[in-house]
Amino acid sequence: MTGNKPPSSDPSHPLLTLEPLLEAVEDGLGRAGWELSGLQKTTSYEFEGRWAGESSRSAYLFFHREGVPGEASIDVFLDETSRGLKGNLALVLDGAALERLGPTREVLETLAALGRSALPPGYRTPLTLRYRLGKLDADPAGARTEFRFKLYIPREAMESGHATVADLAVTCARAFQEILDSSPLAPLLDDGRPGPG
């Protein structure tokens, strides 16, 4: 601890609770030009089975930025449990209707290539493609799609402190922007036209 500062104000002090982790992520994404547009916190105490006796405090943060395609947002999930902190940042995009998207394998190959090119190496970075049908009797060709590029914050970053996590958030946001700016992404995004059914 330096001077009269509390531990969390030292940028190199380990992040041990939810709020300092939240502040570091918000700091980094704000520096990268993304604005916080929503925040939800939850606390859970009632667990059964292998999680009996555990407690969890979680935060969901939503960031937006003007002028990005695909109604893009950065969604952040942070969790504090008795086992420690964990968290991830996700670029969330509305994809085109299923009938206009093309074969699933090709879409995933394109998205994965974009992620490999843009996201920093050495991190856990899963990719999700979701289909959503508005009602059971709707035409599946009109199913809406959603893409999520995700990066997990490693424990080592949180142990290194605010500055490391904030810098990682900046790096992640810039990688997400590179994905958004890529020409192969544009044909896969929602163009606003309604699907059938």
Contact 61, 41 (CB under 8 A): no
pLDDT (0 to 100) of residue 2: 35
% the chain with pLDDT above 90? 76
Token pair belonging to 12: 């190199």
Sign of CA dihedral 141, 196, 130, 44: negative
Bigger pLDDT: 48 vs 82? 82
Contact 158, 21 (CB under 8 A): yes
Q: How far is CA 171 from the centre of its chain?
A: 13
> What would the mean pLDDT of 27-43 be, rounded to a whole number?
96
Residue 189, sorted as left (phi over 0), alpha (psi -120 to 50) or beta, turns out to be: beta
Contact 157, 170 (CB under 8 A): no
> What would the mean pLDDT of 149-154 be, rounded to a whole number?
98
> What would the mean pLDDT of 67-96 be, rounded to a whole number?
93
pLDDT (0 to 100) of residue 83: 82
Contact 90, 74 (CB under 8 A): yes
pLDDT (0 to 100) of residue 193: 53
Tell me how crowded residue 51 is: count the other CB atoms within 10 A of its CB.
Answer: 13
Strands 84-95 and 144-152: antiparallel
DSSP bridge pairs for 56: 44, 81
DSSP bridge pairs for 127: 149
Element (H, E) at 113: helix 104-118
Name the average pLDDT for the chain: 89
Nearest C-alpha neighbor of 163 from the set 5, 2, 8: 8
pLDDT digits (tens, 9 = 90+) for 4-24: 334 445 677 889 899 999 999
pLDDT (0 to 100) of residue 82: 81
45-59, 102-116, 179-193, range with greatest mean pLDDT = 102-116
> What would the mean pLDDT of 134-160 be, rounded to a whole number?
95
Contact 62, 83 (CB under 8 A): no
pLDDT (0 to 100) of residue 151: 98
pLDDT (0 to 100) of residue 44: 76
Spans of all domains in the chain: 16-134+141-185
pLDDT of residue 3 exceeding 80, the answer is: no
> What would the mean pLDDT of 158-172 be, rounded to a whole number?
97
pLDDT (0 to 100) of residue 137: 94
pLDDT (0 to 100) of residue 5: 39
pLDDT digits (tens, 9 = 90+) for 120-140: 999 999 999 999 998 999 999
pLDDT (0 to 100) of residue 196: 47
